[in-house]
């Protein structure tokens, strides 16, 4: 959600303790791009290309950017059938080439037609033991290859219940960030992914505001230009409310992005926000 008056939250070295506010001159301010991103995960074959075509047709009429990250086997075909949708990878290796069986480099993704790539998704952090150091290396590799990394962060249910969610996510993000501001950040509470449960509106605002403050501290004025997406059980019935939260610039959607009938209403809600 966007407002005419822009303020910068000025924080000390460690977030999140509010200290003061500073007005940013309008000429220094650039709004982040509204982005509806779909992560197809390990779903989809060539037969699903019609869904992508329907999403692309709808995207042409909307005031937001649309990204679809299909399986690697669909990347090249997806770029041919999605005139109005950006295509991204779901992961990349930090090295440019080498003896890494089954992995894919950022340069390979570019060669296949991708323009962005997800790094640090909680499923990668959990199932492949990827820590924030590895995620940062992947993000840097993506930037070096001219890809935009979508850097994922999120807290566990235990961290949420203990009151440490903001501190945990802030630490995870800071350790995962490259120096480049040509990035996208996706906040996905781990306990909300695919469960149907989501944080309260207040909790979403609190987390996204804290992330924005951190980006101001790490990237200066460019921190305002970085899009911050919410992810975790986003659907058409809750999208409008989520997109009205402060510093929510879009969504990273999982299962609901597989069908155009589910994803397009989310895109439309974002376009209207």
Domains and CATH numbers, the chain: 30-272 (3.20.20.70)
SS3 of 37, please? strand
- Model confidence, pTM: 0.89
pLDDT tops 70 at residue 27: no
Which among 8, 51, 121, 208 is annotated as catalytic? 121
Give the β-pairing of 116-119 and 86-89. Answer: parallel
Q: Has residue 5 got a pLDDT over 80?
A: no
Q: Structure tokens of 74? A: 């669909």
Is 93 an active-site residue? no
Query: Which residues neighbour 88 within 8 Å (Cβ) at sequence distance 6 or greater?
Result: 37, 67, 68, 69, 109, 114, 115, 116, 117, 118, 147, 148, 150
Q: Which of 130, 155, 188, 219 is catalytic?
A: 188
Sign for the pseudo-dihedral over CA of 67, 70, 72, 73: negative
- Is 121 designated active site? yes
2-8 average pLDDT score: 41
Name which of 57, 50, 58, 82 is nearest 68 in CA terms: 82
- pLDDT score of 15 more than 70: no
């Amino acid at each position: 959600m966007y407002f005419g008056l822009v303020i910068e939250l000025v924080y000390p070295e460690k977030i999140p303790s509010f200290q003061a506010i500073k007005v940013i001159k309008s000429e220094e301010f650039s709004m982040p791009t509204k982005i509806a991103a779909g992560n197809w995960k390990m779903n989809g074959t060539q037969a699903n290309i019609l869904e992508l075509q329907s999403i692309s047709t709808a995207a042409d009429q909307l005031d937001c950017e649309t990204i679809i990250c299909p399986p690697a086997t669909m990347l090249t075909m997806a770029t041919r059938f999605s005139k109005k949708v950006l295509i991204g990878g779901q992961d990349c290796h930090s090295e440019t080439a080498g003896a890494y069986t089954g992995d894919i480099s950022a340069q390979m993704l570019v060669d296949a037609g991708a323009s962005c790539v997800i790094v640090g998704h909680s499923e990668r952090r959990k199932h492949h033991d990827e820590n924030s150091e590895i995620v940062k290396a992947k993000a840097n590799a993506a930037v070096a290859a001219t890809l935009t990394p979508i850097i994922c962060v999120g807290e566990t249910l235990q961290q949420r219940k203990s009151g440490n969610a903001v501190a945990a996510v802030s630490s995870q993000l800071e350790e995962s960030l490259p120096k480049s501001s040509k990035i996208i950040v996706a906040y996905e509470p781990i306990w909300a992914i695919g469960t149907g449960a989501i944080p309260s509106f207040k909790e979403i605002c609190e987390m996204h505001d804290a992330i924005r403050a951190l980006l101001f501290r790490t990237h200066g004025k460019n921190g305002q230009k970085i899009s911050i997406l919410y992810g975790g059980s986003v659907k058409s019935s809750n999208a409008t409310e989520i997109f009205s939260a402060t510093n929510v610039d879009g969504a990273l959607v999982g299962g609901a992005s597989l069908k155009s009938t589910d994803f397009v209403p989310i895109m439309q809600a974002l376009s209207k926000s």
